[in-house]
Amino acid sequence: MNISKKLEILTDAAKYDVACTSSGVDRAGKRGSLGSATAVGICHTFAADGRCISLLKVLMSNACAYDCAYCQNRRSNDIPRATFLPRELADLTIAFYRRNYIEGLFLSSGVVKNPDYTAELMIEALRILREEYGFLGYIHAKAIPGADPALIQRLGYLADRMSVNIELPSQKSLQLLAPEKKAGHIFGPMAQIRDGMEEHSAALAKYRSAPKFVPAGQSTQMIIGASKETDYQILKLSAGLYRKYKLKRVFYSAYIPVVEAKGLPSIHTKPPLLREHRLYQADWLLRFYGFDAEELLSEKEPNFNPLLDPKCNWAINHMQLFPLEINRCPYEMLLRIPGIGVRGAGRIYRARKMSTLDFSDLKRLGIALKRVKYFITCKGRAMPGVDMRPQAILKELVLEKQNIPALAPRQLSLFEPSCEDLAKSALGQF
């Protein structure tokens, strides 16, 4: 099989992996070497499905010894198979880089023969790139669960970022849909990568020339919708992964039915893209806004409201905390006001040290009042004409999300619909 055909097969097989962010590395170019990596990231543009197109995103092989029910590359699936030789992949990467097609490499693989053999193929390809070609560009490599720790260690010194896909959110789902994979084979490499990064940080404090180990950190990916876990279970797992394994990112991939299998949604099921979007929004709140998973969801309310983003939904459920006086509330609460992001909260916090802010000042600071106005006061006063009753706020936010014109003012009713009724009505469940 020629290189062109292999490339066609293995790039198409890699499209289901979404964990390909590239920020976090700062490596200047050197005379006699190729490429560079900057801290601001090298992913400049994205395809329609969200995949970065400035990286060569490819599998080492789509031949796999495992038979995971959800996977396009499962052993029992009758599809064309291909495997790159390490030299072929290295040459291809350099050729693409010299033509300015790409700026880095995202490399994953099916399990060829066994995890150790697969890891050795990937290591050899990256060794050729780094040592023979002097390639200093960004490389993201997938660790192969079950591979020898020494191989994981070697891979970590060659790659900028590593990831170990957790795939499914629970051990029960893993046993059902991927019985040949073990949870220990996933969490073991995660712990090893975490410990390796900590050791590198300690060594770097003593020796400036200490070799870099996974300088851009590690990430993982979960498939959403293939199994029956709730958003609450998924978010709790993500929070635990961030806390225990020091992950940079958890990626959520809406399950795309590719095969008919027992225990999986029908092949005609649409990918849960809105659910994936809500999980990304909640993940952002965990990482940058100081929220805990238990604040956003609970066992009684285990799934996100499809009509509202998680931050708005939290605010609606905690209206006893609002409205907040914009000139006095703590920075931590500024971050929790719907419509105010991290940058906006910082601007407000700095500006109010100089003078007392009103609504016009907020506009000049770049704060959009479309949602903010329902949750704040300025100088002790609400924005004129704003109805700050929870039911009214919920109604306006739902209409905003549905792109429905706001209702005209009307007489107060003693029979306002409940939040649940309003949500069901908007979803067409009545």
3-state SS assignment for residue 59: strand
Q: Which helix (H) or strand (E) holds 222?
A: strand 218-224
Residue 427 has pLDDT above 60, yes or no: no
Residue 417 has pLDDT above 60, yes or no: no
Residue 303 has pLDDT above 90, yes or no: yes
322 band by pLDDT with thresholds 50, 70 and 90? very high
Higher per-residue pLDDT: 134 or 267: 134
Mean pLDDT within 98-115: 89
In which order are the strands placed within the sheet that holds 104-108? Answer: 55-59, 104-108, 138-142, 161-163, 218-224, 249-254
* pLDDT on residue 319: 93
- Strand pairing partners for 108? 59
* pLDDT on residue 407: 41
* pLDDT on residue 36: 59
Residue 414 has pLDDT above 90, yes or no: no
47 band by pLDDT with thresholds 50, 70 and 90? very low
| End-to-end Cα, the chain, rounded Å | 57
Of 7-16, 43-52, 220-229, 351-360, least confident by mean pLDDT is: 43-52
Mean pLDDT within 240-269: 88
For residues 369 and 27, what is the distance between their CA atoms, to the nearest angstrom? 41
Residue listed under structure tokens 């706001």: 406
> Of 166, 191, 219, 215, nearest to 21 (Cα)?
219
Residues of the chain with CATH 3.20.20: 3-216
Of 3-7, 77-81, 112-116, 424-428, least confident by mean pLDDT is: 424-428
Mean pLDDT within 146-161: 94
Residue 429 has pLDDT above 70, yes or no: no
Long-range contacts of 369-373 (CB under 8 A, 24+ apart): 369/339, 370/339, 370/400, 371/312, 371/338, 371/339, 371/397, 371/400, 372/337, 372/338, 372/339, 372/340
- Residues 304, 305, 308, CA angle at the centre, nearest 5°? 115
Q: Mean pLDDT of all residues in the chain?
A: 85
Query: Do 278 and 231 touch, CB atoms closer than 8 A?
Result: yes
* pLDDT on residue 420: 54
261: left (phi over 0), alpha (psi -120 to 50) or beta: beta
3-state SS assignment for residue 324: strand
Residue listed under structure tokens 């905690």: 318
For residues 415 and 388, what is the distance between their CA atoms, to the nearest angstrom? 17
Residue burial 386-405, b: 16+ Cβ < 10 Å; e: rest:
bebebeebbbbbbbeeeeee
Of 32-41, 45-54, 152-161, 169-178, least confident by mean pLDDT is: 45-54
* pLDDT on residue 43: 42
Structure tokens, 220: 């993982």
* pLDDT on residue 7: 84
For residues 22 and 42, what is the distance between their CA atoms, to the nearest angstrom? 6
- Crossing angle of helices 390-401/419-426, nearest 10°? 10
Q: What is the CATH code for 3-216? A: 3.20.20
342 band by pLDDT with thresholds 50, 70 and 90? very high
* pLDDT on residue 426: 47
Encoded amino acid at 126, one letter:
L
For residues 89 and 122, what is the distance between their CA atoms, to the nearest angstrom? 9
Residue 4 has pLDDT above 60, yes or no: yes
For residues 106 and 109, what is the distance between their CA atoms, to the nearest angstrom? 10
